[in-house]
Every structure is written in structure tokens, then in C-alpha cells.
Amino acid sequence: MEFRRLGDSGLKISEITYGNWLTHASQVENDVATQCVRAALDAGISTFDTADAYANTAAEQVLGDALAGERRESLEIFTKVYWPTGPRGHNDVGLSRKHVLESIDGSLRRLGTDYVDLYQAHRYDHETPLEETMQAFADVVRAGKALYVGVSEWTAEQIRAGHELAVQHGIQLISNQPQYSMLWRVIESDVVPASKQHGVSQIVWSPVAQGVLTGKYKPGADLPAGSRATDDKGGADTIKRFLTDEVLTGVAKLEPIAADLGLSMAQLAIAWVLQNDNVASAIIGASRPEQVADNVKAAGVTLPADVMTRIDDALGDLAEKDPAKTVSPERRPA
């Protein structure tokens, strides 16, 4: 495993982060989830990402149970706050001081830890003054409940404003967690330059485009049984935008590129996002332990410039690059 600094901090995290969105307490049974976490640890992954909203807080509990007994100082545990949790009451959502301070305590209890290494705003809250949110985050840090703070899917302008307030409050905003893959490149034009300017790294999710870049989906073919595209608990909704014959035909052109490098399609996709020097880590999920063992081999892989060009040529204009696609709900979800 290779490790990279997160933002301008001194914190180092594994190039591959294990995440449990859409899997723990949802798509896979708890014993399999624990096996996947053990596989991640065995592969050298030290960084684990979750959120209170995943499976309505149950995913945090599963991860905490799976990591119980591990040396806490050897792990980097990340979680997030914003989306509705619990009974989904009018204050069980957003980035108000009330919700932030109550949510961090719940997350720590479920994760079985005294602190998280990174506490992230899971989206931008347009209904709460940013000053209120950053003050609450600063209080969480000063209380020793989080070491650093980050955001997820914030625009360049929002990152700049958050960074300025973080500095004023004497804390470090060191990360953004956006979707990023060969097929979803909306952060490249605005978010990445702003992040570099302010010492913020990307921890990217969906580097294999919800599984499309693994090559398992074929143009004109039936969806594989048991795949994310057939999951009615949320997986099918997240992947459907990539399941067009045009996209799948372009993805098929990547197969010989991966073969020439001795990589699986998934390894190629994960290695591709790690070529971006503003990316500190790529988040992988897994429904089987062997998926972890395969995906982790992307760590430390360098893709030559000619390979990057071949990938661009294969996909043509299929990748989404519009920075306006980085957006948070105008109103808090109910």
C-alpha cells in the first residue's frame, strides 16, 4: 500500500480507502461486511470512510464492530453529516449547530471510538449560514471529537468560503469528497484548481463508475444477476445514467488497454483517478472480500502519458465534464 498526505495537513492516508456506502447493513450481510473489512486491513488499507446516513446509521455500527480490537492509532476513520437520519425529524438533517453537535456524538458511539480523524459535511447546506456550520465544526475539533474537517461535493466557490472560515476559526479544512472517474470528470476545471490553491485534497468516490468501468456490463446484454444495476435498495438508481449502449461500447474499448498493462478493468479505473495529483485516495466498496484484494492492486500504479491518451481517445466525449453538475440540494431533504 502507498500513502499520501491529505491536503496541507500532516495526516497520511492509504491511497485506497475502504467505504461502506450501499453495502454494509444494506446489500451485504454483516458477517460478509466484516470479512470485507478484514480483507481491507490485510491488504494494507488503513483508511475507512462511512457516514451517519448510510443505512440510516446502521453502516457506522457495522464498521465500528468490524474494526473493534484494532489499534486505533493505526487507523484513519472518516464519517459525515448532513443527510436525514433517525426518525427524519425537522432537525435530523442539515448542517445546523444542533444537528452537527448531536450527530458527531451518535457517530462516535456507533463507531466505538473517542474521535474520528476526519468529519465531513456531506453536502452544502443552503439553509444554514456557513459561519454557523464552521463554528460548530471548530467546536467539534476543539472538543477532540474530530482531528480535521472536510466536505463532500462542494463547489469551488463553497470550498473557498469554507476554507476562509476554517482559517478564521483556527482549524484545517483539508478534503473534499466528490464523485470522480473516467466517466465523471466534473471536478477537473473548477474544484481541483480551487482545492490546490487552498490546501484541499480529493478523496474520490465511485472511481469505477458504480461498477460500469469493471467491464461487467455489456452493450445490448441483460444486466448481470446480483449486480448493483439490479439492486432495488438504491444501487440501481445510482448506476443507471451510465448504462447506455453508447457508454458501454466506449468502456469496452478500454479492455485491451487494461490487458496490455496486466491490469483488471477495475484496477485501471482506480489507477486512473490516482494519477490526478490532487487526489489523495480512491474509495472502494465491496460486496465480497476478493473484490478488495483485486482493487487494492491499483495502489502505486503509474499510467504512462501515452496510456492516459489512449484512455481519452477510447472514451471520446462520453465523460461528463460540466462543473455545474457539482450541486447540493437547495432545500434540505425531508
Structural contact between residues 52 and 85, judged by C-beta atoms closer than 8 angstroms: yes
Coil, strand or helix: which one is 319?
coil
Which run of H or of E encompasses 117? strand 116-121
Residue 195 CA to residue 212 CA, distance in Å, equals 28
- 56 SS3 class: helix
CA distance 212 to 23: 17
221 Cβ neighbours under 8 A, 6+ residues apart: none
Catalytic hit among 18, 54, 82, 148: 54
Place of cell 460548530: 136
Helices 305-315 & 245-252 angle (0-180, nearest 10): 150
Helix (H, G, I), strand (E, B) or coil at 23: coil
One-letter amino acid of 79: T
Full DSSP string of 145-211: SEEEEEESS--HHHHHHHHHHHHHTT--EEEE--B-BTTB-TTTTTHHHHHHHTT-EEEEB-TTGGG
The answer for residues whose C-beta is within 8 angstroms of residue 164's C-beta and 6 or more apart is none
> Quick check: is 180 catalytic?
no
CA distance 107 to 85: 11
- Catalytically active residues are 54
